[in-house]
Structure 1
Amino acid sequence: MPEAIWISFAFGLGLLVKTIGLPPLIGYLAAGFVLSGLSASTGIPIEATDALGHIAHLGVLLLLFTVGLKLKLRSIVSAEVIGGSLLHFAITCAIFTPGIYLLMEVPWKTALMLAIALSFSSTVLAAKVLESKRELRAFHGRVAIGILIMQDLIALGAMSLAAGQIPSPWALVVFALPLLRPLLFRLLDASGHDELLALLGLLLALVLGGYGFESVGLSSELGALVFGAMLASHPRAQELSKSLWSVKEVFLVGFFLQIGIGGLPGTDALLFAMIAGLILPFKGILFFFLLLAFRLRARSGFLSSLALTNYSEFGLIVASIAVPEWLVPLAISVSFSFLFSAPLNRFSHTLYERFAQKLTRFESSKHHPDEQPLSLGDTRVLIMGMGRTGTAAYDWLSDEQPKLMGLDSDPAKASQHQKQGRNVVFADAEDASFWNGLHMPAVESVILAMGDIEGKLIAARMLRKLGFKGFIVAHTMFEDEARQIREAGADEAYLTMSETGVALASHLSEKAPAKPSLATGHSG
């Protein structure tokens, strides 16, 4: 069975690359190339079947749906997203088109379509990398995803022009979709917490979003993203995302396998891919300086541009319609860019810390409103990370400690807390420039409640580096992470599940009735 071979190779190479600190998706990609090589050397056909292609497509749709669940569309409509994406697209096409025309000796139209295909960045890779680091809602994550959405819209237009087709008139119905939001909210509330919740997610992502958009001549990927975004403001959006997590991850394995199984490249394809790989860093550099032009700080511009420094699977879709004879060279270029981009993004924060002094020289003197330095005034207790744990800590302390402040890297979440009466402001604890502008003269205690270990480690180190002598406490799921947090400077790092058990026991001792003594019992 080909499925058994795919699963075996994907698991084996995925586990191998994970042991050396790389994302498993690189192993899945390598598994596809190994299978293709084995097929060529043994003569045994190992091909990407329709079933694998269907699974890969479902994985992409589910990924984009879960990305949409984490997005606030109002935060995407911004000058840096719209301006940055359009300018990057125009500049890239203006430079790449004559270069491809001269180097590859192809017609101008072919050179233009190849340039368009190379101008896009991978929504799948960038979203997966940002999601794995829990940075989708961070400022630089929202900028990167916003630019990717704009690129997807541009790609849709390019495909329509290349195919000579326009969407069906029924596509105008899409503008009425917001009217369905109350109904979708009721369905989400009525779905409970078990398999019906996951089935609702599949229905919205694959049927209404995927097939529904395709039926009116629009992209199924865009449909999945739109339906996810429509539910983003619902309180249970995160729960819905978690219910789809395992299904989405398994299906995405098919996507990366499909790329590799597509076939081993020829000499011309490898030459094209090598040239595309050499110019890939310039794509990221252009993004970096464009984002700085829109007053982003160097750190946000660097992290956003690094997430976008790759080529897109969407470019392959454009090529399959406009220049199908160039599909294999583009597929190899996309694959090489994944191998280049995934490891770099894994160490993106470390890279920025190393080059921060050189990169900050290019910053504008005026900074983006979301990135202003912060003064904590007379705050006594600071809570960093206002998710469920941070919010619970804030509410418990608010009665006895009025001089309390919360920080969160999601501006929308900070705004929501403010509306609910909490003193919460936007700030990204992993931003070195945040610490440089931080003034906290009265803070006595800090609670580290961010979701990721990296943020807690950075915050603990920076607090001690700034000379903070107060109490620092954090929580984590694992004992080895607790040890790392304490070594970074925290006074205590508690295990989340252990503390949950202690809290439950304390409620029992407070609420349970007193146990009757034997002296007052009935005699037989």
Structure 2
Amino acid sequence: MPDPLLIIVALICGMASRAVGMPALIGYLAAGFVLHELNVGGGEMLAKLAEMGITLLLFSIGLKLQIRDLLLPRIWGTTVIHMLVTQLVILAFLSLAGQLMPGLGLSITSNLVIAFAFSFSSTVFVIQIMQERGEMASRHANLAIGVLIIQDLAAVLFLAASTGKVPELSALWLLLLLPARRPIVRLLRLAGHGELFTLAGFALAILGAQLFDSVGVKGDLGALLIGVLLAGEQKGKELARNLLYFKDLFLVGFFLSIGLGGWPSPSLMILAFALGALALLKPLLYFPLFTRFHVAPRTALLASNSLANHSEFGLIVIAVAATQGWVKPEWSSAMSIAIAVSFLVASPLNRLSHTMYRRHRLRLLRHESPLVRAQRPDTSNVRVLVLGMGNIGTGAYEAIARSYGEQVLGIDDNDRKLAQHHAMHRRVAAADASDPDFWHRVALDQLELVMLALTNHQENMLVADLLRELGYTGRIAAVVRFDEEATALEAKGISAFNLYAQAGEGFAAHAAQGLRERRSADRDVNETEEPGS
């Protein structure tokens, strides 16, 4: 079967997986196994897609790498401790399995590699559930993604060392890439925002991989480090957004190729199911680690639950280890089954995360550290709350503060953004708008207006439902982008401002005001000139 038809099969299986609430990744893996049963193999195009997907994955990780954030103990400390403990647990489990099922042929080397692969959590899964719930900008999403990046870096170091090649002396020339940051950023600015810009991103990822590979260093590490050069730049963030779907598209080839490799032996399949279910133990360690590192209990719970799965990066580690002869090739298919099982058990857990916190809130608050307790925002004497202090929220804050002054409080989750608002003498505080702990500290009976400037419909709906559940009867206004979003909010008694549809009215009002001022100025000039003429 031609490779393009394999992609169509993957599309159908991916859509079916998404329709039942699972990540599309499960469908791609299933497509590979189905095609294997039909005696269909992949060709050169599929191999190239898989290779390009991994290169773009590592390049994208580099673009998101904020060293300052990753150096926070709650991120690197939690990740390192959790990975070490997880590997010890998996090693013990594999040792027991090896005694019960001697036919597995597990060695010390294979056990170490397999335990390492199972210590990661899935970036694809976490980003998907956060996007679906409108929580990508939340503290728990940022915390979970920070942990994932540290894990991905560990995997990249493994991949870089896996070839066993010694870098050539010419590899020292790669140090010249350090001052290349500014020229590369200028090049990206020159490329604009369209297809030329995206093509420049592809070229940079491929160039980085080829450069490193040419001097005896694994090319994947080159793609990562070229991305790191651009991390923190606005063009780097834009490039990460542009390449997101291309990266996912090319990785389809990798996931398909895993399934095309066939099924593992029956005993190994049983072990894969058991390893997949073990992912549910991960939050039991993440939560106490997060709270010990002064993370609020709710943030710790939601981040921990999102990490209760195994990673597609583990598949890459196992695939590379199989080429080196460290594990049997059938472990690639076993790993894919374990990942699928972990997604199946993690999905309902994540759907219940908010309910779980509300139900056990008082018990979980016992784990709150004194430092977190001391950082609770001051919500006294507040009559108006503006949730989301971006451009729209800031404009709303400035307009409403003319009437309410210090009784207006702006809420945001971005610490750097909050520092800028503090410098402008605005009353702002750090909090998660969907956090019931925050609302329990607000005098809802004195609150007259809540302005939802979050521009994310799912988050707006979540906050609105929470407020009504807590008994708030005041006015709620929200910013929306589409008519169906306005309809859904208005059905809940919330005033919706359509950013796109009503922006034209605001623009016209602004232009008309300027025209009136111009006519008034011209009239004043004419009246001044007439007596002397």
- Structure-2-length-normalised TM-score: 0.81
| Corresponding position of 1:8 | 8
Please say if 1:375 is aligned against 2:378.
yes
| Corresponding position of 1:283 | 282
Q: SS state of the match for residue 94, structure 2? A: helix
* Structure exhibiting the larger radius of gyration computed from Cα positions: 2
**Conserved in 2, the CA contact under 8 Å of 1:299 and 1:356?**
no
Residues 507 and 83 from structure 1, CA distance in 2 versus in 1: closer, same or farther, beyond 3 angstroms? Answer: same
Report the more deviating stretch, 305-314 or 240-249. 240-249
Residues 442 and 224 from structure 1, CA distance in 2 versus in 1: closer, same or farther, beyond 3 angstroms? Answer: farther
**Conserved in 2, the CA contact under 8 Å of 1:155 and 1:318?**
yes
Match of 1:366 among 346, 363, 369: 369
* Residue 493 of structure 1, CA deviation: 1.8
**Conserved in 1, the CA contact under 8 Å of 2:455 and 2:479?**
no
| Corresponding position of 2:71 | 77
Residues 419 and 202 from structure 1, CA distance in 2 versus in 1: closer, same or farther, beyond 3 angstroms? Answer: farther
Amino acid at match of 1:257: L
**Conserved in 2, the CA contact under 8 Å of 1:33 and 1:260?**
yes
| Corresponding position of 1:186 | 186
Residues 415 and 72 from structure 1, CA distance in 2 versus in 1: closer, same or farther, beyond 3 angstroms? Answer: farther
**Partner Cα distance (1:419, 1:73) in 2:** 25
User: What are the superposed Cα offsets for residues 131-164 of structure 1, whole Å, 9 maximum, x if unpaired?
Assistant: 5555444322222222222223333444566654
Amino acid at match of 2:96: L
Q: SS state of the match for residue 433, structure 2? A: coil
* Residue 473 of structure 1, CA deviation: 0.8
| Corresponding position of 1:111 | 111
After the TM superposition, which residues 338-353 of structure 1 pair with which residues of structure 2 at under 5 Å, given as runs?
338-341=340-343, 344-345=346-347, 348=350, 350-353=352-355
**Partner Cα distance (1:218, 1:128) in 2:** 33
Residues 366 and 378 from structure 1, CA distance in 2 versus in 1: closer, same or farther, beyond 3 angstroms? Answer: same
User: What are the superposed Cα offsets for residues 318-374 of structure 1, whole Å, 9 maximum, x if unpaired?
Assistant: 333355543433443334424532784587253332354437635524166599432
Residues 260 and 107 from structure 1, CA distance in 2 versus in 1: closer, same or farther, beyond 3 angstroms? Answer: closer
**Partner Cα distance (2:58, 2:132) in 1:** 14
Return 5+ residue gaps in structure 2 as ranges. Answer: 520-533
**Conserved in 1, the CA contact under 8 Å of 2:156 and 2:221?**
no
Please say if 1:409 is aligned against 2:409.
no
User: What are the superposed Cα offsets for residues 375-401 of structure 1, whole Å, 9 maximum, x if unpaired?
Assistant: 233444322123343344345555565
| Corresponding position of 1:334 | 336
**Partner Cα distance (1:132, 1:227) in 2:** 30
| Corresponding position of 2:509 | 506
Report the more deviating stretch, 472-481 or 172-181. 172-181
| Corresponding position of 1:520 | none
| Corresponding position of 2:33 | 33
**Conserved in 2, the CA contact under 8 Å of 1:98 and 1:111?**
no
**Partner Cα distance (1:299, 1:114) in 2:** 32
**Conserved in 2, the CA contact under 8 Å of 1:377 and 1:441?**
no
| Corresponding position of 2:522 | none
| Corresponding position of 2:41 | 46
| Corresponding position of 1:145 | 145
Give the length in aligned residue pairs.
507
**Conserved in 1, the CA contact under 8 Å of 2:23 and 2:128?**
no
**Conserved in 1, the CA contact under 8 Å of 2:294 and 2:369?**
yes
**Conserved in 2, the CA contact under 8 Å of 1:60 and 1:124?**
no
**Conserved in 2, the CA contact under 8 Å of 1:68 and 1:227?**
yes
User: What are the superposed Cα offsets for residues 104-138 of structure 1, whole Å, 9 maximum, x if unpaired?
Assistant: 24332322222122222233443454455554443
| Corresponding position of 1:271 | 270
**Conserved in 1, the CA contact under 8 Å of 2:279 and 2:342?**
no
Match of 2:90 among 91, 96, 104: 96
**Partner Cα distance (2:338, 2:129) in 1:** 16
Amino acid at match of 1:240: L
**Conserved in 2, the CA contact under 8 Å of 1:71 and 1:137?**
no
**Conserved in 2, the CA contact under 8 Å of 1:22 and 1:343?**
no
Amino acid at match of 2:29: L
* Residue 217 of structure 1, CA deviation: 5.7
After the TM superposition, which residues 216-231 of structure 1 pair with which residues of structure 2 at under 5 Å, given as runs?
223-228=222-227, 230-231=229-230
Residues 177 and 416 from structure 1, CA distance in 2 versus in 1: closer, same or farther, beyond 3 angstroms? Answer: farther
User: What are the superposed Cα offsets for residues 400-456 of structure 1, whole Å, 9 maximum, x if unpaired?
Assistant: 654343222233333344456554432212233333344567543222122432211
| Corresponding position of 1:522 | none
Amino acid at match of 2:482: F
| Corresponding position of 1:385 | 388
Residues 66 and 168 from structure 1, CA distance in 2 versus in 1: closer, same or farther, beyond 3 angstroms? Answer: same
User: What are the superposed Cα offsets for residues 467-488 of structure 1, whole Å, 9 maximum, x if unpaired?
Assistant: 4333211122333333333344
**Conserved in 2, the CA contact under 8 Å of 1:129 and 1:346?**
no
Return 5+ residue gaps in structure 1 as ranges. Answer: 40-44, 517-524
**Conserved in 2, the CA contact under 8 Å of 1:23 and 1:342?**
no
Amino acid at match of 1:56: A
**Conserved in 2, the CA contact under 8 Å of 1:76 and 1:143?**
no
**Conserved in 1, the CA contact under 8 Å of 2:79 and 2:147?**
yes
Q: SS state of the match for residue 264, structure 2? A: coil
| Corresponding position of 1:305 | 304
**Conserved in 2, the CA contact under 8 Å of 1:17 and 1:24?**
yes
Amino acid at match of 1:35: L
Amino acid at match of 1:114: I
**Conserved in 2, the CA contact under 8 Å of 1:76 and 1:142?**
no
| Corresponding position of 1:460 | 464
**Partner Cα distance (1:427, 1:381) in 2:** 15
Amino acid at match of 2:480: T
Amino acid at match of 2:477: V
Please say if 1:260 is aligned against 2:259.
yes
After the TM superposition, which residues 205-244 of structure 1 pair with which residues of structure 2 at under 5 Å, given as runs?
205-208=205-208, 210-215=209-214, 223-228=222-227, 230-244=229-243
- Structure-1-length-normalised TM-score: 0.83
| Corresponding position of 2:526 | none
**Conserved in 2, the CA contact under 8 Å of 1:110 and 1:323?**
no
Residues 328 and 304 from structure 1, CA distance in 2 versus in 1: closer, same or farther, beyond 3 angstroms? Answer: farther
**Conserved in 1, the CA contact under 8 Å of 2:280 and 2:345?**
no
| Corresponding position of 2:438 | 434
**Partner Cα distance (1:499, 1:342) in 2:** 42
User: What are the superposed Cα offsets for residues 162-221 of structure 1, whole Å, 9 maximum, x if unpaired?
Assistant: 65456566667777766444334333333222222222322333433x444555566655
**Partner Cα distance (1:325, 1:75) in 2:** 35
* Residue 498 of structure 1, CA deviation: 1.0
Residues 222 and 372 from structure 1, CA distance in 2 versus in 1: closer, same or farther, beyond 3 angstroms? Answer: farther
| Corresponding position of 2:529 | none
